[in-house]
Amino acid sequence: MTKVIFPGSFDPIHFGHIDIAQRASRLFSEVVVAVYDKPIKTLLFLPEERIALVKEAMNGLPNVSVMGYRELTVSFARKVGAQAIVRGLRVFSDFEYEFRMALANKRLEPDIDVIALITDEQHTFLSSSTVKEIAALDGDVSSMVPDFVQRALQAKFKDLGDNQTVVPTSSLKD
C-alpha cells in the first residue's frame, strides 16, 4: 500500500498534469494531488481556484484526493503519511531542476522518495505558462486543457482586461 503525493502549482492544470495523475493512480494505492499555495513564481489563479480546477479534473479517480499546502513539500508528504513524491518529467531541461529538488528533499526527509514519471510524448511541450500565454492572446487551448479550464482562463483574462502582466510572454506573440 503506497501513498504518494503529486505536488505542483497547477496554474492551471493541463493534460500533461492529468496524465501523470492518472498514471500515478494506477501505480499507487493512494494519490494526493498537492496544490502549492504560494510558489515563488507569479500565478494567475488563486489557490482556491487552482484547487477547484484540479478537483474537477480528478473527478472519477477514486483513489485520488486534492489538497492545498503551504509548507515544505516533504513536510506535507510526511504529514499526510505519503512514502513518495511523484513528479512529471518533460524535456531534458526539467531533469536538472528535478534532480536538484529530489536531492534536497532527500536530505530533508531521507525516508521519502521521489519518483519521476516520463511525460507522454504528446504532452512534451505542454506547460501551464504556454497554456496561459496562448489563452492570454485568445488562442485555442482546447487540445491542452479540459473545457472547464479553458472557460476559467477566458473568464480570468476577461476580468484582468489589459492588466495581463501576470503572464510573462516568451515568443508566441512574434
Residue positions annotated with a catalytic role: 17, 41, 90, 128
Q: Under the criterion CB under 6 A, does residue 145 sit at the interface with ligand ADP?
A: no
Nearer to ligand ADP, 123 or 132 (CB): 123
Within 15-34, the residues that bind ligand ADP by CB under 6 A are 16-17, 20
Contact 12, 39 (CB under 8 A): no
Whole-angstrom distance, CA of residue 157 vs CA of residue 130: 15
Q: In three state form, how does the secondary structure of the chain look? A: CCEEEEEECCCCCCHHHHHHHHHHHHHCCEEEEEEECCCCCCCCCCHHHHHHHHHHHCCCCCCEEEEEECCCHHHHHHHCCCCEEEEEECCHHHHHHHHHHHHHHHHHCCCCEEEEEECCHHHCCCCHHHHHHHHHCCCCCCCCCCHHHHHHHHHHHHHHCCCCCCCCCCCCCC
Q: Is 70 exposed, middle or buried (0-12, 13-18, 19+ CB in 10 A)?
A: exposed
CB of 19 to ligand ADP, least distance (A): 6
Within 125-144, the residues that bind ligand ADP by CB under 6 A are 126-128
Q: Under the criterion CB under 6 A, does residue 8 sit at the interface with ligand ADP?
A: yes
CB of 93 to ligand ADP, least distance (A): 10
Of 105-113, 118-126, 153-161, 162-170, the window that binds ligand ADP (rule: CB under 6 A) is: 118-126
Of 6-14, 104-112, 133-141, 160-168, the window that binds ligand ADP (rule: CB under 6 A) is: 6-14
Within 78-97, the residues that bind ligand ADP by CB under 6 A are 87-88, 90, 94
CB of 58 to ligand ADP, least distance (A): 14
Q: Under the criterion CB under 6 A, does residue 37 sit at the interface with ligand ADP?
A: no
By CB under 6 A, name the binding residues for ligand ADP.
8-10, 16-17, 20, 39, 87-88, 90, 94, 119, 123, 126-128
